[in-house]
Structure 1
């Protein structure tokens, strides 16, 4: 039978070692390698599934359909690989998921009878599953303060603190229930502050974030006292960017995008395809306009839709090498790699054709600005997140043979619960974290080869999960 351990995963969205220490993480902090690209939607989905974007199907917030010239939004329904909570649900273990991207709408999580879910900041509304809990917690399901420009930089930190204080009532109440086995919560406040106040990434003006980070630290200490294992992870890191590189302008310069530079007004088809309330949240956070996205999705031969996912879509695949060579000429670009060489899985068709990796300090933009680069000073994503773990059976000093990755959380947690690990998972059990005398160090992980059952990945369902559980 599965072990009745209690595992807490605290997600600090976008935290690097500087911001994690500002929160108050006082144990060993290790680098934690993000997905490529190091971006919120694919990375958190990989942390929750243990597989790469080509297997789980998520590469960003926006989904590009070249055949229909359509840009829409990814949702929970687009996640094509079993989540950790779904596996635990089949094993009659209970989970709480709070603020995790790609978990709304709730019916996109196919196994959820033993799961409580709170929607993340990008959901069209703040909601909770099961719905019977809505009335009890309605006053705490407030919207996050995304319109920071409206508040101003002086007012915004106070608004974030008020939001966090209010939501904490809900977080603590669910934590103090005695019937969960997995409690997984993401605090996005670290990411929001890092975007808007890049100076904190260099240890300056940290008083701005102290009140909010103190609330998060207190929550972590409470969770630590209730968990057998507590993991702290971030989906990606952050660094200060000093240059903006306009990728679509470069593609236009090389003949892959044709547009009239004298006309700034472009038909905006994206707003017809994406619910306005969601689009506004995504674009407000990213600081990007949708007009160029709409235009290029209709007209261009090669284009970037979502700068933070580093992706280039190429309409005529035979032109991919030509696009790649054109981009590699620019000093701001570290490398250009075909997506299929980075990730393997059945959902390559919904992925970009190329991944463009920026040099340190360079931020991408999809805007058509009439220029290639521009100076800036802001925080943006970087591949090195953070990893830390607490527990009585955890080593005081951990040395990893290879740096832990976003794919490693699921197999490690399943190993703790004594459950089999899906054979095509991309991560590994982080055996280095366990004391050598502990039960977890002594027992070998159990892997299940899906081909043994003749099961195709996209057809995994409840019946197949039950089959897996029976072999324990």
Structure 2
């Protein structure tokens, strides 16, 4: 390649962890990734709470906790209403924006929650939560990419069969690598960041299928090899947002527990969140097959609604607008009536789980929520009672559901702490599956046999990297200051992480305060449907 060599490359592998990588290394399936670990140093990377894509990746690329950048899950709430998060919800500078202030250019491909992009010296093609035809930076660069490599998509088509799905996973991985190499050649950046999402998606859609996991990882390794050959970076870092692994515990339906404790009120019709998507996935989307009683016209209509993205937060309002809520209650069997119409009545409840990805309980506080019922004077006592009640929960096997139940201040600090759950609930070993759904019973089998774990991975190799460095305390927040240090750029004094000892720190400085501006709505049914497919929106 004739362009200026890339100085620092960051490879993001969603859900990457040693328990997944090591068996593939032993089989010789990932020679390029293994060479990075062999030539440098690697260790588990402790993720944050919550360890999920929409909050963890912004924490990684800003170096701050969610209380400072403002994103706690896939959903951004305005009172009791919600929208899918996007880049305008991330209220702190990304590391490529800080590099711009230090005279460095960057190319970023497929980083989650980066749509719509902000201006900086370089190029950005957004990833997860962006629409299929996202706004990119600079204007027109997506057309350039598509002209150069033939095609570029953010997502695979929905509702394809297994063989097509895996082929699409590999194709998307290839698009990431090809687009990244083209943009590096085109913009000659100092820093490059390419993220691969399918390493997480394959576990959500095809858990326990080793062949499909291997196929995705081999495609990633091939692209990493081509990037190393073409871009010749001086320093390479590999990092993940969290790990992944099998769940052997239970599904704990926190709102069912809170209802029995007197905190959650429910309603059929009106505002709230119906318990819908699991029934829709397990029963309605089966169509006429595998159901002894068959599906009537109404049920098939609801199945179609589920497939096109009318998920739990939307179905109740849709039924009400169509005048079908009473019709459903009279004609559909009880399990579907409950699933389609019973919901958490947010305005009437004292506390509730609004989004399972947040890992916590929200108090319906007067003066903060639109129809708060808990007075500010009672806030601390209600929160303390919730902590005590949740700490005492045991599974049917007698094990603790939570390893930690604490107030949000124990996990978050910053200007956006008020957006966090009031009580943070950390599942024991991340082996219990939390759900916000109302199902009538507190416990069930985990909806997904594999899900997120706390420890991901970090690795570093190349110029200036100490291969003997001790990374035993590596944390997600440390990645951004470490990347900056490889380019001799100071970390921000607002960052919560520290430069990992693989490279020499470059100090820190005050950068201009982040100018948040207005939050732009995502309001994209297709994005919502894809998140529901993966179980992220119930």
Distance change >3 Å, CA 350–CA 414, structure 1 → 2: same
SS at match of 1:151: coil
Question: Hey, what's the Cα distance between the residues in 2 that align with 1:43 and 1:329?
Answer: 28
Q: 1:399 pairs with 470, 473, 490, which one?
A: 470
Cα 1:10–1:167 change in 2 (3 A) is closer
Q: For 1:331-383, what per-residue CA distance to the aligned partner results, in whole angstroms no more than 9, with x for missing partners?
A: 22222111112121111111111110112321111110001111235211111
Question: Contact between 1:118 and 1:126, CA under 8 Å: does it hold in 2?
Answer: no
Alpha-carbon contact 2:91-2:516 (below 8 Å) kept: no
Contact 2:68 2:416 in 1 (8 A): yes
Verify: 1:289 aligned to 2:289, yes or no: no
**Structure-1 residue corresponding to 2:384:** 321
Where in structure 2 are the equivalents of 1:56-455 lying within 5 Å?
A: 56-65=69-78, 68-106=79-117, 109=118, 112-127=119-134, 128-138=136-146, 139-145=150-156, 147=158, 150-177=159-186, 179-199=188-208, 205-225=209-229, 226-242=232-248, 243-260=250-267, 263=268, 289-290=312-313, 295-315=344-364, 316=374, 317-318=379-380, 319-331=382-394, 332-360=401-429, 361-376=431-446, 377-400=448-471, 402-431=472-501, 433-434=502-503, 440=504, 445-448=506-509
What is the CA–CA distance in structure 2 between the aligned matches of 1:170 and 1:287, rounded to whole Å? 33
Alpha-carbon shift at residue 71 of structure 1 (Å): 2.1
Which whole-Å deviations, capped at 9, do the CAs of 1:363-415 have from their partners, x for residues lacking one?
11111000111123521111101111121432334323x42111111211222
Whether contact under 8 Å (1:140, 1:169) holds in the other structure is no
Contact 1:32 1:406 in 2 (8 A): yes
* Alpha-carbon contact 1:415-1:445 (below 8 Å) kept: yes
Which residues of structure 2 form unaligned runs of 5+? 275-305, 317-341, 365-373, 395-400, 518-538
Counterpart-to-counterpart distance in 1, 2:14 and 2:240: 5
Distance 1:405 1:314, change over 3 A: same
SS in 1 for 2:83: strand
Do the aligned residues in 2 keep the contact of 1:266 with 1:295 (CA within 8 Å)? Answer: no
User: Would the alpha carbon gap of residues 340 and 387 (structure 1) be closer, same or farther in structure 2, given more than 3 Å must change?
Assistant: same
Whether the 8 Å CA contact 1:55–1:81 is kept in 2: the answer is: yes
Offset of 1:92 from its aligned partner? Answer: 2.7
What displacement does 1:152 show?
Answer: 4.2
Q: What is the rounded CA distance, in whole Å, between the counterparts of 2:180 and 2:516 in structure 1? A: 32
Q: Check 1:9–1:286 CA distance in 2 against 1; reply closer, same or farther (3 A cut).
A: farther
Q: Whole-Å Cα distance in 1 between the matches of residues 308 and 405 of structure 2?
A: 26
Which consecutive unaligned segments of at least 5 residues does structure 1 have? 200-204, 271-282, 435-439, 462-472
Give CA deviations for 1:391-445 in whole Å, capped at 9, x if unaligned.
Answer: 1432334323x421111112112222222222231111112x24xxxxx4xxx53
State the number of aligned residues.
416
Shift, 1:159, TM fit: 2.8
Deviation at 1:15, TM superposition (A): 1.5
| Alpha-carbon shift at residue 266 of structure 1 (Å) | 6.2
Residues 125 and 142, structure 2, Cα contact 8 Å, conserved in 1: no
Structure 2 distance, partners of 1:180, 1:241, is 41
Rg (Cα) greater in structure = 2
Q: Partners of 1:254 and 1:185 in 2: how far apart?
A: 46
RMSD: 3.0
**TM-score by structure 1 length?**
0.80
Q: Which runs of 4+ in 1 moved over 6 A?
A: 283-288
1:308, 1:381 within 8 Å by CA — same for their partners in 2? no
Q: CA–CA distance in 1 between the matches of 2:198 and 2:87?
A: 22
Q: C-alpha deviations, 1:93-151, integer Å up to 9, x for none? A: 11111111221112xx2xx241211121321233332122232224523241273xx33
Q: Distance in 1 between matches of 2:266 and 2:57?
A: 36
User: Match for residue 289 of structure 2?
Assistant: none
